[in-house]
């Protein structure tokens, strides 16, 4: 089946893409939601230049969907329509167990005539992290909720040691509640690793983010 991957550049959507490819499905592109004013991806903050490099590293077309937030659902649906025009029969998402998120995405798919796929659905959260590490994916910790996690995690790889720090702080090791976000930069689905540089740490209320370019 041909599908479009709803892609955040983070670990969960990358693992979901891995599962879809392993199951024999064919991707037509990466659908990425972008903040219109900032020209960065939602939630993970990848710049447009980084997104272009993601497309090259994954060897897939990008379907960028600019939104100011208020029109997020219509922007996503427009992207799904574009994917369908490229031959997509379904759309895949990296959700694990948040019912409200899944219901919202299913509604977007229903509106555009695509079948929704959730290859990670109802898996144990920590098992997803364990599989990422076992498969050899490299994921950079891009942001943390600094009321829960130390800023020292920023800019380092999500590895066994980092997972223990996260668990020791009483946070979800998979970060499904927004404890942290990552950028996947290498692994089996990448044709080549992404080169990057980290810069200053920026603070926005309860969240700290490291600049990655």
Res 39 pLDDT > 90: no
175 phi/psi in degrees, rounded to 5: 70, 25
Q: How far apart are CA 94 and CA 10, in angstroms?
A: 9
Res 43 pLDDT > 90: no
Please give the structure tokens belonging to residue 50.
Answer: 């980084």
Give residue-wise pLDDT tens across range 53-99: 999 999 999 999 999 989 999 999 999 999 999 999 999 999 999 99
Q: 119, 158 in Cβ contact below 8 A?
A: no
Closest C-alpha among 190, 188, 187, 170 to residue 179: 170
Res 45 pLDDT > 90: no
The residue-averaged pLDDT of 97-110 equals 97
Give residue-wise pLDDT tens across range 150-209: 999 999 999 999 999 999 999 999 999 899 999 999 999 999 999 988 999 999 999 999
Q: What is the pTM of this model?
A: 0.95
Give residue-wise pLDDT tens across range 7-21: 999 999 999 999 999
pLDDT band for 213, please (50, 70, 90 cuts): confident
The residue-averaged pLDDT of 108-116 equals 98
The reported pLDDT for the residue numbered 44 is: 82
Res 102 pLDDT > 90: yes
């Amino acid at each position: 089946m041909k599908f479009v991957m709803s892609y955040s550049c983070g670990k969960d959507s990358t693992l979901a893409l891995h599962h879809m490819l392993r199951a024999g499905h064919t991707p037509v592109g990466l659908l990425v939601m972008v903040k219109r004013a900032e020209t960065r991806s939602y939630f993970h903050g990848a710049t447009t230049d980084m997104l272009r490099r993601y497309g090259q590293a994954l060897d897939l077309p990008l379907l960028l969907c600019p939104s100011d937030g208020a029109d997020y659902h219509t922007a996503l649906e427009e992207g799904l329509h574009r994917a369908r025009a490229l031959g997509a029969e379904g759309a895949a998402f990296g959700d694990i167990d948040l019912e409200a998120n899944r219901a919202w995405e299913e509604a977007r798919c229903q509106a555009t005539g695509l079948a929704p796929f959730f290859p990670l659905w109802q898996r144990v959260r920590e098992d997803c992290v364990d599989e990422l590490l076992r498969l050899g994916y490299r994921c950079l910790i891009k942001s943390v909720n600094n009321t829960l996690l130390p800023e020292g995690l920023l800019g380092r790889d999500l590895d066994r040691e980092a997972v223990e720090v996260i668990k020791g702080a009483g946070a979800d090791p998979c970060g499904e509640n927004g404890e942290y976000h990552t950028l996947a930069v290498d692994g089996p689905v990448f044709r080549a690793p992404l080169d990057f540089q980290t810069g200053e740490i920026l603070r926005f209320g309860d969240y700290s983010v490291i600049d990655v370019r």
